[in-house]
């Protein structure tokens, strides 16, 4: 019978990863108890052992790309993982107090951290680096995010005076852009007190109202509605409720643009490590789950996948985070650095391996839109 270490080495070899090897994607194991810990604790223990310094990799993004391309995570099944999946199915953690946990754990972690990592507009979703209509290719993160924001405005046909709702407005990047560049009247809702504070401080005299509000409580008509990177926190049991809420609040001739990370297959849970340390109670939707949720409500006018560009965006965020770390490490400890590094680089690998997608979906109310 193979030992935990022998089984671990054999599994890594399936992806051309050598334990204590010389390639940048090779894992360096510093504590041999790592193997048993991972086999007994699954993905959660794997990530926590990295945070504890039990193993390291020179190029973590390349390491995870090999992991995902060879489905190595499927080789480790534990009883704890089974219980975690079962709990995810039985509960509805995105309702009530569970819906705001992600704000407490992730979005309220510190505006200064995000200001160091993100672009000048504080956009916490994928940038658009390629050409789109009259937009040139982006040369840096600031340009890529401006291009993405303008692309959204073009897709929803935004006009001066339009009343726009941003569900999950973050630090106000889209609403600020739409009001400043297009003359729109904007409402942004968030569940993060830190984001709300920052957005209000930055809006100046622009016609924007920010609210600390759950999407289920909206009761107001809008010309256009957007939601950028928030649907990942809704949960599959609430997809229909979410879409009915958008439908109710969208004018008959309005457009709804949904931007979300997606998966190739339908799931009812997220990675246990991501769930504990980064995005509590999150879940990535599949195309099937999205189309089922809009049935008898919306028609799909456009479905744009540009997930490969999220890899590059995440690598830029990591580069900024790493560069700014010396000025942040008095507030955050070394374990936080490893946690954030693990999050950014493993996420980049999910897009590079095509495990994750990034979709922009434009929806109308039963085809009431006539395009030029």
Alpha-carbon distance of 246 to 240, in angstroms, equals 10
Amino acid 72: pLDDT: 78
pLDDT per position as a tens digit, 66-103 = 999 998 777 676 545 544 444 555 455 546 555 456 55
Backbone angles phi, psi at 304, to 5 degrees: -115, 120
Backbone angles phi, psi at 327, to 5 degrees: -90, -5
- Our CA angle for 78, 81, 87, nearest 5°, is 145
Computed over every residue of the chain, the mean pLDDT equals: 89
Amino acid 2: pLDDT: 80
Low-confidence residues in the chain, pLDDT < 70: 75, 77-108, 131-136, 367-372
- Pairing assessment for the beta strands 208-212 and 299-305 based on DSSP bridges: unpaired
**Quick check: 344 and 314 in contact, CB under 8 A?**
yes
Backbone angles phi, psi at 133, to 5 degrees: 50, -115
pLDDT per position as a tens digit, 328-341 = 988 899 999 999 99
Segment holding 117, helix H or strand E: helix 111-117
Phi-psi region of 183 (alpha: psi -120 to 50; beta: other; left: phi over 0): left
SS3 for 25? coil
Q: What one-character-per-residue DSSP string does 69-105 give? A: HTTGGGG---HHHHHHHHHHHH--TTSGGGGGHHIII
Q: Which two tokens stand for residue 120?
A: 């000048």
Amino acid 45: pLDDT: 92
Amino acid 77: pLDDT: 63
Enter the pTM of the model: 0.91
Alpha-carbon distance of 108 to 192, in angstroms, equals 6
- Domains of the chain in start order, with CATH, are 4-90 (no CATH), 96-364 (3.40.50.150)
Amino acid 279: pLDDT: 84
Amino acid 113: pLDDT: 92
């Amino acid at each position: 019978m193979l030992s935990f270490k022998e089984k671990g080495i054999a599994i890594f070899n399936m992806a051309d990863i050598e334990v204590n090897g010389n390639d940048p994607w090779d894992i360096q194991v510093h504590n041999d108890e790592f193997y048993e810990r991972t086999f007994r604790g699954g993905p959660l223990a794997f990530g926590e052992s990295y945070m504890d310094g039990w193993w390291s990799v020179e190029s973590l993004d390349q390491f995870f790309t090999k992991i995902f391309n060879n489905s190595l995570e499927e080789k480790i099944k534990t009883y704890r993982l089974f219980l975690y999946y079962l709990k995810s199915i039985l509960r509805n953690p995105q309702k009530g107090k569970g819906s705001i946990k992600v704000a407490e754990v992730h979005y309220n972690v510190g505006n200064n951290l995000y200001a160091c990592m993100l672009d000048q507009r504080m956009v916490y979703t994928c940038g658009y680096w390629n050409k789109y209509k009259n937009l040139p290719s982006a040369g840096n993160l600031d340009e890529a995010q401006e291009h993405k924001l303008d692309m959204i405005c073009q897709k929803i046909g935004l006009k001066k005076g339009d009343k726009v709702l941003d569900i999950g407005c973050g630090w106000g990047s889209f609403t600020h852009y739409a009001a400043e560049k297009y003359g729109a009247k904007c409402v942004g809702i968030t569940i993060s007190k830190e984001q709300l504070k920052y957005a209000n401080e930055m809006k100046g005299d622009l016609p924007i109202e920010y609210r600390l509000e759950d999407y289920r409580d909206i009761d107001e008509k809008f010309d256009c509605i957007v939601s950028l990177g928030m649907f990942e926190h809704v949960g599959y049991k609430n997809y229909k409720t979410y879409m009915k809420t958008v439908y109710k609040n969208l004018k008959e001739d309005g457009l709804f643009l949904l931007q979300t990370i997606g998966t190739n297959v339908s799931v009812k849970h997220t990675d246990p490590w991501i769930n504990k340390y980064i995005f509590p109670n999150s879940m990535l939707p599949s195309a099937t789950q999205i189309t089922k949720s809009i049935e008898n409500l919306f028609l799909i006018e456009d479905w744009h996948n540009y997930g490969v560009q999220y890899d590059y965006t995440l690598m830029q965020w990591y580069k900024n985070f790493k560069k700014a770390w010396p000025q942040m490490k008095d507030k955050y400890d070394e374990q936080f650095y490893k946690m954030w590094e693990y999050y950014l680089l493993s996420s980049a690998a999910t897009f590079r391996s095509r495990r994750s997608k990034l979709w922009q979906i434009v929806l109308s109310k039963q085809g009431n839109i006539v395009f030029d």
